[in-house]
Structure 1
């Protein structure tokens, strides 16, 4: 069965009266298992009367892994669409990604691939009938009902997002925004782009994708953290805030000694620690490549609900990862 044309064969068997929730993810083949975990966690925590439509921007997922992803899901109220990029759209993404390989870029992250930039293309890839969508990174686990996030009032904002716990303000050292030039206050909040409710209609009308590419080319030295930096610059003052627990990053949240030491209120800090709706593994240490990942038990809880059930980071896998890292370092030195 050809995976890329499964839409008609995977349509829901149960008629659901409420509008479907459109969820977008982007992944390459290396992220096939984490993608399955993210999708499975969405469905497991969603109201059973809700229908969800997944749009997966395909960065090269092998057909066998697509089959495993589909096998991992309860498809009664779920539809899955794998989206391929046209040559013209892929060219736009490469225009943004390639300069980041230059030594002039001081903030780099080897675990951020070109697929991260696919979110800039979401409004161009989804059918026009969808005026709103939820974007999710593939290194997270959903514990809350996304139906609640879907119902949030987006108003005239381009996106809804949560304040970043590691880069809480535009003036934070690692944010690298030219916030003075943008006329922003030092305490203007900076959002994490790993969980977004996107106003597709407004984005399309204002041609935000083209503006994002143009901004990047003109402000390369100010763009830290890739497309997230671009969006924080372009959407300053034009995004709405959601509860921080919709995007909890344990590696940064747990680094605070108390709520007074954090950028959050006491209530928000308590919810982040005790009842996060989404656990986002933002650092280089992911549950599938490190034994020292906070809250990794939630990830493996959902791994065991997928076609990768029983997968663990064994000593042999750790040895293989080390060899791969060392090989890449040698190649880098040679180049």
Structure 2
């Protein structure tokens, strides 16, 4: 599969509620991939023409391109949506990208919009997927899923970052099979289409290092802020999985500061860090508790010392 050396096709799906995280993500892509030609392919559900024009101008200012695609909402409205506050119907859009983009695009890097890119995407884009429909990193939280046919560890992957071979995705009818699986087995679905894809692709996918998809459960608990700066040096994509989104004031993800760094570089630089900031007692108490613990880790290492003692 031959692609131009520095051209990277990136697929992103979002709705109006994720406009700011979308801007943060593409800002991080542009800042860390200046040597690459970035071509964005977006499904922007509910995003009006004026906002799309603003997005296009920002993308062009960064010497990149963006193409928008329309998807009939009816295609996903009837699909089961897990009882999870950080899921929306937009999670299913990734299934459709290979059938929407131009036929000449053979490789497509899909990235969830609750992420930031902190490295060069070229290494991931060069992964060989000639013989499989996709490549992805293992999920650090989920090991076994017997209900999906996954009975041994090391097979369940996180679909938030996937390098897709568009030709094989289409010729092997992954979209149609995933939709059918979601329709036939709604009782098995905990993580939306990710579960369906795992049931279908567990022996038909290339596993890549989690450097390309660092999730909440990959992050060490007791590093100091300085140590976290070192921790991310060889990482490429940070994925803010779980309810710990960096734009929520009760977020406990220690890498949320990286999201905020790129927020300050984005067109929404003046946006407050936390979209849900409220001065109610429970939230303020949790906020202060989390921040105090982090302060103690950064300045005294007290919690790390306790964790080491407990391990011994």
Bin of the TM-score, shorter chain as denominator length? 0.7 to 0.9
Aligned to 2:105: 130
Say which of 56, 65, 79 aligns to 1:79. Answer: 65
Aligned to 2:117: 142
Say which of 17, 25, 31 aligns to 1:44. Answer: 31
Contact 2:56 2:65 in 1 (8 A): no
Determine if the alignment matches structure 1 residue 92 to structure 2 residue 75: yes
Could you tell me how far apart the structure 2 residues matched to 1:196 and 1:312 are? 31
- CA offset at residue 20 of structure 1? 2.3
Determine if the alignment matches structure 1 residue 151 to structure 2 residue 132: no
Determine if the alignment matches structure 1 residue 59 to structure 2 residue 45: yes
- Aligned residues, how many? 272
Gap change, CA 1:311 and 1:141, over 3 Å in 2: same
User: 1:132-168: per-residue Cα shift (whole Å, max 9, x none)?
Assistant: 100000010001101111111113111100011111x
Aligned to 1:308: 268
Aligned to 1:178: 147
Determine if the alignment matches structure 1 residue 319 to structure 2 residue 278: yes
Gap change, CA 1:272 and 1:244, over 3 Å in 2: farther
Across the aligned residues of Structure 1 and Structure 2, the Cα RMSD in angstroms comes to 2.7
User: 1:30-67: per-residue Cα shift (whole Å, max 9, x none)?
Assistant: 1011111111111111142x211101111112344334
Say which of 193, 200, 209 aligns to 1:234. Answer: 200
Could you tell me how far apart the structure 1 residues matched to 2:78 and 2:11 are? 22
Aligned to 2:239: 280
User: 1:151-188: per-residue Cα shift (whole Å, max 9, x none)?
Assistant: 11113111100011111x233xxxxx524xx3x44224
Could you tell me how far apart the structure 2 residues matched to 1:291 and 1:189 are? 32
Q: 2:153 is paired with a residue of what secondary structure? A: coil
* TM superposition score normalised by structure 1: 0.74
Gap change, CA 1:281 and 1:158, over 3 Å in 2: same
Q: 2:75 is paired with a residue of what secondary structure? A: helix
- CA offset at residue 312 of structure 1? 2.0
Could you tell me how far apart the structure 2 residues matched to 1:23 and 1:224 are? 26
- CA offset at residue 255 of structure 1? 6.0
Say which of 31, 34, 39 aligns to 2:18. Answer: 31
Could you tell me how far apart the structure 1 residues matched to 2:158 and 2:214 are? 10
5+ residue gaps in structure 1?
A: 1-16, 101-106, 172-176, 259-270, 323-335
